[in-house]
Amino acid sequence: MQQVQISDRLYKEAQRRAAEAGFSTVDDYVAEVLTRDSIEGPEDFGHLFTPERLAHINAAAAQIDAGQFFTTEQADAELARRRAEWLQKHPG
């Protein structure tokens, strides 16, 4: 039987997921995940890219290319403004 070494942080995450999924050991959990992945293959998201969604993505990309976008600072300022406005309308 082979062994794999992973970081302590990753092992703890695998341990947590194994417990949540009802596995008695991390080994059993990892084996199941890898087996399922090899049988099912990579997930195909192609069905999500409908012509309408692709048109929306292309329009957004064109706006970005034209410089019509928020910087991080602008987005933060807008969200802060909206939050302050909401809190003013909904005190307490």
Residue 1 lies inside a defined structural domain of this protein: no
The predicted pLDDT at position 41 comes to 64
Residue for token pair 């969200």: 79
Task: State how many domains the chain has.
Answer: 2
Q: Place 2 in a pLDDT band, splitting at 50, 70 and 90.
A: confident
The model scores a pTM over 0.75: no
Helix (H) or strand (E) holding 56: helix 51-65
How far CA 55 is from CA of 36, 44, 61, 69, in Å, comes to: 34, 20, 10, 18
Amino acid at 80: A
Residue 51 lies inside a defined structural domain of this protein: yes
Give me the domain span that covers residue 22.
8-40
Same domain as 51, residue 24 = no
Residue 85 lies inside a defined structural domain of this protein: yes
Residue 35 lies inside a defined structural domain of this protein: yes
Same domain as 61, residue 33 = no
Reported as a single tens digit per residue, the pLDDT across 63-85 is 999 999 999 999 999 999 999 99
Residue 18 lies inside a defined structural domain of this protein: yes
Same domain as 85, residue 52 = yes
Residue 30 neighbours by CB under 8 Å, 6+ apart: 4, 14, 18
Q: Return left, alpha or beta for 41; rule: phi > 0 is left, psi -120 to 50 is alpha, else beta.
A: left
Distance CA 39, CA 18 (A): 20
Same domain as 85, residue 51 = yes
The predicted pLDDT at position 67 comes to 94
